[in-house]
């Protein structure tokens, strides 16, 4: 197959869940098929996207002059685009320059299939083209904004969340109806889209993990230590840490005063840094080159998410390393996990704290959960198996 893969936000380094998923699937697809990778993203120093030419047939990358996330410049940029009918996740990236470059490429090249990676590039996809088009949804974006709206306490942020929720829901309905096939990463997301799409048009592609890279590291665990991994410039992750520190950690400390937490992920906000200045038991690492040593030394991995969609790669990575995980049901949403068998699920601060305390006190329970978790992902969710499923779906789209 000759595949055109269109992605906003870039691909490398693969340091977010969406990038990790796309990077590994693309690497596997490129072993058997001709892949053209077309991406547009915020310009940044030491851009490593040119190295992708070693893997793909063709690479077209467009660095854009975009405002820094959460800066005054981004607030101004958002205000300029506020009245657009499109959500900001589309208008932020889909500039006229990008649209012109993509159409110029399609004037000179023909492809068997176009993959729209996430909803963000949908604003420049040539939907009028006869080339089959597949939308790869890593989340139900409207659900994420709805959950932001539901937990927001700041009136302005609540209003923005409501506005983006409504626009994103409309965009998802519009573009997913135009697509020839819609791919989701969980049955939960599939069911959400099936409220307005023919279910036969939707295929679930499970989340994967590199089970050779993420392996158990015996002997590294530190008593009474917790770890959270994730990009801290993604708002659901930041909300999770605020929620944990303010509502859950005090309950744990009542029984385990020595408990500590490492928050491992890039770009923590000043607001989060300020919160943790007074909480000495929590440490922000910022960006790290390798998260495995941090996962290995945690007695347990926590995922206290209240907002989210799709599936959390952070859980599969911890499970592949044989770590015991405590998550909210939102955090583990869409993953093939079983409470008390290979993970602990808890949704109230009291229950979450109790689950963490139980693990800190019981090393046998930690080992049992971790071993079961490792078996689950090792046997069923390696990236080659996931990419094979992805390839079969694309071939089915062409056959139809």
- pLDDT of residue 285 exceeding 80, the answer is yes
What's the domain count of the chain? 2
Q: What is the pLDDT of residue 160?
A: 96
One domain for residues 106 and 85: yes
Strands 113-117 and 2-8 come out as parallel
Tens of pLDDT, residue by residue over 166-224, are 999 999 999 999 999 999 998 999 999 999 999 999 999 988 999 999 999 887 799 99
Q: 374 in a domain, yes or no?
A: yes
Q: 168 in a domain, yes or no?
A: yes
Q: Which residue has the tokens 């801290």?
A: 232
Q: 343 in a domain, yes or no?
A: yes
- Residues 126 and 238: their CA atoms lie apart, in Å, by 35
One domain for residues 188 and 112: yes
One domain for residues 138 and 280: no
Q: What is the pLDDT of residue 234?
A: 87
Q: 213 in a domain, yes or no?
A: no
Tens of pLDDT, residue by residue over 290-336, are 999 999 999 999 999 998 766 688 999 999 999 999 999 999 988 89
- Residues 333 and 330: their CA atoms lie apart, in Å, by 5
Spatial contact of 115 and 136, defined as CB atoms under 8 Å apart? yes
One domain for residues 201 and 231: no
- pLDDT of residue 122 exceeding 90, the answer is yes
One domain for residues 30 and 48: yes
With CA atoms as reference, report the closest residue to 226 among 288, 299, 296, 284: 299
Q: 219 in a domain, yes or no?
A: no
**Where do the DSSP E strands lie in 43-143?**
58-64, 113-117, 133-136
Spatial contact of 228 and 334, defined as CB atoms under 8 Å apart? no
One domain for residues 33 and 170: yes
Q: 175 in a domain, yes or no?
A: yes
pTM of the model: 0.83
Q: 216 in a domain, yes or no?
A: no
One domain for residues 48 and 175: yes
> Residue 27 sits in which domain range?
2-208+382-399
One domain for residues 154 and 175: yes
One domain for residues 388 and 345: no
One domain for residues 245 and 334: yes
One domain for residues 150 and 250: no
CATH code of the domain covering residue 341: 3.40.50.2000
Tens of pLDDT, residue by residue over 16-25, are 889 999 999 9
Q: 313 in a domain, yes or no?
A: yes
One domain for residues 331 and 202: no
């Amino acid at each position: 197959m000759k595949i055109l893969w269109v992605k906003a936000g870039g691909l490398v380094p693969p340091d977010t869940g969406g990038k990790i998923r796309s990077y590994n699937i693309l690497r596997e697809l490129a072993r058997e098929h001709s892949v053209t990778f077309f991406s547009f993203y915020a310009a940044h120093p030491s851009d490593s996207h040119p190295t992708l030419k070693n893997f793909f047939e063709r690479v077209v990358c467009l660095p854009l002059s975009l405002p820094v996330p959460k800066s005054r410049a981004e607030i101004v940029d958002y205000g300029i685009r506020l009245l657009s009918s499109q959500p900001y996740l589309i208008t932020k990236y889909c500039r006229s320059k990008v649209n012109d470059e993509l159409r110029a490429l399609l004037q000179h090249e023909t492809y068997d299939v176009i993959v729209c990676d996430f909803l963000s590039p949908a604003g420049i996809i040539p939907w009028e083209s006869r080339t089959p088009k597949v939308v790869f949804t890593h989340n139900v974006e409207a659900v994420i904004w709805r959950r932001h709206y539901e937990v927001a306490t700041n009136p302005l942020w609540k209003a923005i969340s409501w506005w983006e929720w409504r626009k994103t829901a409309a965009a998802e309905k519009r573009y997913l109806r135009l697509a020839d096939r819609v791919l989701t990463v969980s049955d939960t997301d599939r069911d959400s889209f099936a409220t307005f799409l023919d279910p036969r048009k939707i295929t679930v592609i499970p989340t994967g993990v590199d089970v050779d890279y993420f392996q158990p590291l015996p002997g590294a665990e530190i008593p009474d230590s917790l770890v959270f991994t994730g990009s801290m410039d993604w708002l659901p992750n930041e909300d999770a840490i605020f929620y944990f520190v303010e509502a859950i950690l005090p309950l744990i400390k009542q029984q385990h005063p020595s408990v500590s937490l490492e928050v491992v992920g890039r770009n923590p906000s000043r607001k989060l840094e300020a919160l943790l200045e007074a909480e000495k038991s929590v440490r922000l690492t910022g960006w790290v080159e390798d998260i495995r040593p941090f996962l290995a030394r945690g007695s347990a991995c926590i995922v206290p998410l209240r907002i989210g969609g799709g599936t959390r790669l952070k859980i599969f990575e911890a499970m592949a390393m044989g770590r015991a995980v405590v998550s909210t049901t939102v955090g583990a949403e869409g993953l093939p996990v079983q409470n008390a068998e290979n993970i602990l699920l808890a949704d109230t601060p009291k229950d979450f704290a109790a689950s963490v305390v139980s693990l800190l006190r019981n090393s046998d329970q930690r080992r049992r959960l971790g071993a079961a978790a490792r078996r689950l992902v090792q046997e069923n969710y390696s990236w080659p198996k996931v990419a094979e499923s992805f390839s079969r779906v694309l071939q089915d789209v062409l056959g139809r």
